[in-house]
Amino acid sequence: MIDFPWVEPGEPVPVSATTYVAYRRCAESAAARLRGLYGPDSKIAFRGGLAHRVFARHLSVGPIETDGFEMACRQEIGSSNMNMKVADLGLKPSEIRNLIEEVGHLYERFKSLSSDGFTAAEVALEHEPTEGVVLKGSVDAVFDDGPAGVRLVDWKTGQLGSSDDQMAFYTLLWALDRKELPGSVEAMSVKTGERSTSVPSLAEVTQTARNVADLVTSVRRGSVAQEGLERTAGPWCRYCPVLDSCSEGAAAVQVFGT
């Protein structure tokens, strides 16, 4: 269905949605992730991760009773890598309770959403389009919209923001793995109710494949030359893994706030 473009031969390059989005914003930030450097964890990210686990549990198992919500959250924390993040963030018991309460408010909003056509939650996808290049990701939820086809949904727990690159990557990965385009892709903010829905085209997916190929080739060439990639400053610099050594990023943090 899609002929993946030529890439520079070289070391294995795993590409996730997060890495792809990072590359589209700042190439060096993506390269740093591929070198094993990651930005700091945050309470906001922890809350978002827990909310996603709760949403998946609701869709897969059923509604969570109010009097059992805190226990359900603690079970999700204990059964995933979130348990390690509790220690990494140094969260106190009172802070965990506050975060669970915040997730509870999001869950109340989530329960009002329709689950018609739901087929699966946290769908893991992985595909190797060419030797040494592995694309991988996890779609929050998949719905069957009948004649309109499959709909891929990504839940947001904050502002909707720009999600085009992330959804483009999921579309490409789905098309490569399932040999068909999804009928639609949707990013939805549970917090605000905002939605962004689009119907993918083959031309758009082909362009995303070119972008991924550019990422792989740039990273491999930079690695061989032992040179950093282009840096582009913006609001995303706050959690960049190379912020401490990036003057552009430091300036951006001052402009956009911490």
Q: What is the 3-state secondary structure (H, E, C) of 91-158?
A: CCHHHHHHHHHHHHHHHHHHCCCCCCCEEEEEEEEEEEEECCEEEEEEEEEEEECHHHCEEEEEEECC
Report yes or no: 146 and 180 within 8 Å, Cβ to Cβ.
no
Cα separation, 96 vs 142, in Å, equals 30
Cα separation, 228 vs 255, in Å, equals 24
Report yes or no: 222 and 206 within 8 Å, Cβ to Cβ.
no
Q: Tens digit of pLDDT for each residue in 32-58?
A: 999 999 888 889 999 999 999 999 999
Cα separation, 37 vs 245, in Å, equals 13
Q: Tens digit of pLDDT for each residue in 166-178?
A: 999 999 999 999 9
pLDDT at 258: 52
Q: Tens digit of pLDDT for each residue in 183-198?
A: 999 999 999 999 999 9
CA dihedral 164, 125, 143, 199 (to 10 degrees): 30
**Continuous segment of H or E residues that includes residue 198:** strand 195-198
Positive or negative: CA dihedral 29, 31, 33, 37: negative
pTM, 2 dp: 0.93
| Residue 106 burial (C-beta neighbours within 10 Å; 0-12, 13-18, 19+) | buried
Task: Write down the number of H helices and E strands in the chain.
Answer: 9, 6
Q: Tens digit of pLDDT for each residue in 85-128?
A: 998 899 999 999 999 999 999 999 999 999 999 999 999 999 99
Query: Residue 244 has which token pair?
Result: 């401490």
User: Sorting pLDDT into bands at 50, 70 and 90, what band is 257?
Assistant: low
pLDDT at 134: 98
